[in-house]
Amino acid sequence: MVYRGGLENRCGLIAHRGFESLPLRQSFVSKFYIQLLVWAVVVGGAFAFLWKQGYLARLANYVGETREELRKCSWPTRDELWQSTMLIAVVMFSLGLFTIVVDFVVLKFVRSLL
């Protein structure tokens, strides 16, 4: 890596002159494409392995069956969902308030014993 004026120079750029030398830029580009090619081969190999073992067919079957089961479900209306959400919010607020009060009472009791 080339450092000029404290800035990292990854693409062959120089602060005042533009592109440095063509070989540095070409090596960066070719390195990028080699890494891209390696990752493409790895992902392609993994895909081929999963295809050959039948995992992709099982995954597709699982997704299809899940979609069918979700169509059978009865979903709440917007009003029912809003009411359930408000109920949960009130219960959580009440539980938090109860915890704070009990903690305060226990703290006062323990401090009175000391």
Over residues 31-85, the pLDDT tens digits come to 889 999 999 999 999 999 999 999 999 999 999 999 999 999 999 999 999 999 9
pLDDT attached to residue 32: 87
15 occurs within a structural domain: no
13 occurs within a structural domain: no
46 occurs within a structural domain: no
Question: Phi and psi of 80, rounded to 5°?
Answer: -60, -40
70 occurs within a structural domain: no
Report the domain count for the chain.
Answer: 1
107 occurs within a structural domain: yes
pTM attached to this predicted model: 0.42
**Coil, helix or strand at residue 18:** strand
Alpha-carbon dihedral 58, 62, 63, 68, rounded to 10 degrees: 140
111 occurs within a structural domain: yes
Confidence band, pLDDT 50/70/90 cuts, at residue 25: low
Name the residue range of residue 97's domain: 76-114
Residue 7 has pLDDT above 70, yes or no: no
Residue 8 has pLDDT above 90, yes or no: no
Ordered DSSP codes for 23-86: HHHHHHHHHHHHHHHHHHHHHHHHHHHHHHHTHHHHHHHHHHHHHHHHHHSPPPPHHHHHHHHH
32 occurs within a structural domain: no
102 occurs within a structural domain: yes
